[in-house]
A and B are shown apart, each in its own frame.
Chain A
């Protein structure tokens, strides 16, 4: 109880909000429809995807337009594992390992560049995966010399279908409720680890690289090595998100590698605020809702997304969480508390 009391005293608003959110999400399957659960699982994996991408964008100052590559690698690796041996934890781990490897290889080439070059190259490598996966069998045949029939390993243009959700040890994941709890736990752990990461010396050195590359170099930190570490971590988060997606949808097609997939976490981060911790999480939820809504009413979804981006950049820069913290919150504070000693800039989120 002491721990609870201490938390309540030091970071009250934040703690109460967090516990409430936790309780609501745990209790939700009791009364929510499958549609809501489906939506929440989707938001959770977009959240993980966005957090990873924002580690590059918001924390290290690198805009990657190729995160779909690692998202897709995670998704396809998980699919292959589930088809061979239906164990969900194995699929998640396999997906993460595969995308870590992919991120390491691509990272070695791209982290030598920054700024515009980095963006262009990540975009190009992402599209290499998109093109490559559709011809993967042909490519493998050329490399290995062994004849592999087309569309047998990765399913060609159609991708892989009818992927079972498998089991976790002995618990079947067929029901969406079980899968929801599983995703909830995994995402919770991942978000917690991410929180610890960005507040660790490693995370701080990422932010230092963003703010001044040359100063960081002068302190003896290898900028390139740190960028590579950051790139691999971002890739692992993308792979984890991709693996969860495979479990949810039961199919995976080459479109997961498309640049429009890479744009999702970028827009989520921008929407929520890329210089805040909760920004990408809030952004992922809002982005999902907006996209769901737009898809239902219009076929020109690209225009809707584009307009949101333009409005955010030219109007609401800093994102929703960023603006809330910097503008709305200080006002609320001065209005609702007698003690005005806590000034703006002291963020609760």
Chain B
């Protein structure tokens, strides 16, 4: 029983990482209506930049994370301005293919910038060490990740519900034309939302930096699970993304405990089952799919 609980906690941490990636993807889809293939790459840049600032330049961990977020926010701004803006009016397929192409460019940019070496990033000393949970040692950093993931959820919810900017985002997500008609500047809103989504990706990347190995294929590796998470939780739903991320994380960890092969198969298995029973995803309304 203790083993199971421990496994579930490990899975929960993995779920939080999924959530941190899926959150920005959900916002980019909800407001801009795009499937952001580059989201994983932005996450990867967040990881690598935080690693560079923290390890190579010897900065404070918090500062390194902040700078990584700011830099990736800048990349997001340029991406929206020069790649997305010209194609909003184009076919959906064309938009996706373009973003896919940019993802390939970003992958090799990381390869050129940071090389093929796998980096094993250090855990900041303040968050190092372990605590005792159910008689086992649980890394403090994992609890920090879980806390950060939950905090991000409430911060995004707060922004979307309480601030003017967040409300305009929701307005644009539900009806872009109507929002534009009542005087919301859609162009600016698209730019700011995309920067926001990029920043969340970078935050997730920077925080998960000490948790996983950094490598140039990271961006393409994380984007597929992230797609599965948002599909299972239904596209455009934040609560759905969070729930699906936790579900997939925990079920994968528990499944692996019994059947080792579940580590790679569970996520697809969950996706298939959920989509057969509820094609619109766990939190989607009827006919929304």
A residues lining the B interface (CB < 8 Å):
57, 61, 63, 65, 109, 112-113, 115-117, 119-121, 123-125, 127-128, 131-132, 135, 138-139, 142, 259, 263, 266, 270, 299-303, 305-310, 313-314, 317
Contacts and interface: CB of A to CB of B under 8 A. Distances in A.
A97 to B, nearest CB: 23
Contact of A124 (B104, B111, B268): B268
Main secondary structure of the interface of A (DSSP, over half): helix
23 contacts: A109-B275, A109-B276, A112-B279, A116-B235, A117-B231, A117-B289, A120-B35, A120-B231, A123-B224, A124-B227, A124-B231, A127-B224, A127-B268, A128-B265, A142-B259, A266-B97, A302-B104, A306-B101, A308-B101, A310-B105, A313-B101, A314-B83, A314-B86
B87 interface: yes
Contact of A138 (B98, B111, B228, B261): B261
Given A117-B231, A123-B224, A131-B265, A109 B272 contact: yes
A116 B289 CA distance: 10
Given A131-B268, A302-B108, A305-B104, A124 B228 contact: yes
A139 B265 contact: yes
Contacts of A313: 87, 90, 94, 97-98, 101
Given A117-B289, A132-B265, A306 B231 contact: no
Given A116-B35, A119-B93, A120-B231, 11 more contacts: A63-B96, A65-B100, A119-B35, A120-B230, A127-B224, A302-B105, A302-B111, A303-B105, A309-B101, A309-B104, A317-B94
A109 B107 CA distance: 31
Q: How large is the interface on B (under 10, 10 to 19, 20 to 34, 35 or more residues)?
A: 35 or more
Interface in B169-227: 220, 224, 227
Interface string B104-117: 11111101100000
A135 B261 contact: yes
Given A138-B261, A142-B259, A314 B87 contact: yes
Contact of A135 (B224, B231, B264, B272): B264
Contacts of B106: 306
Contact of A303 (B108, B261, B265, B275): B108
Residue of B103, B259, B264 contacting most chain A CB atoms (<10 Å):
B264
Contact of B101 (A131, A305, A317): A305
A309 B228 contact: no
Contacts of B86: 314
Given A121-B231, A123-B227, A309 B97 contact: yes
Contact of B96 (A119, A127, A300): A119
Contact of B93 (A63, A109, A142, A259): A63
B104 A306 contact: yes
B271 interface: yes
Nearest to A131: B264
B135 to A, nearest CB: 31
Main secondary structure of the interface of B (DSSP, over half): helix
A193 B29 CA distance: 39
Interface in B81-95: 83, 86-87, 90-94
Closest 6 CB pairs of A and B: A309-B101, A306-B104, A303-B108, A306-B105, A128-B268, A300-B108
B102 interface: yes
B276 A303 contact: no
Residue of A116, A142, A301, A308 contacting most chain B CB atoms (<10 Å):
A116
Contacts of A65: 100
A183 B107 CA distance: 35
A37 B235 CA distance: 47
A55 to B, nearest CB: 13
Contact of B100 (A115, A135, A309): A309
Given A63-B93, A116-B235, A124 B107 contact: no
Contacts of B259: 142
Given A63-B96, A302-B108, A310 B235 contact: no
Contacts of B224: 123-124, 127, 259
A50 to B, nearest CB: 14
A314 B235 contact: no
A310 B98 contact: yes
A310 B109 CA distance: 15
Contacts of B289: 112-113, 117
A64 to B, nearest CB: 10
Interface in B7-57: 29, 35
A171 to B, nearest CB: 42
Residue of B35, B83, B276 contacting most chain A CB atoms (<10 Å):
B35
Given A263-B100, A300-B112, A120 B227 contact: yes
A267 to B, nearest CB: 8
B208 to A, nearest CB: 20
A299 B216 CA distance: 13
Contacts of B265: 128, 131-132, 135, 139
Contacts of B279: 112-113
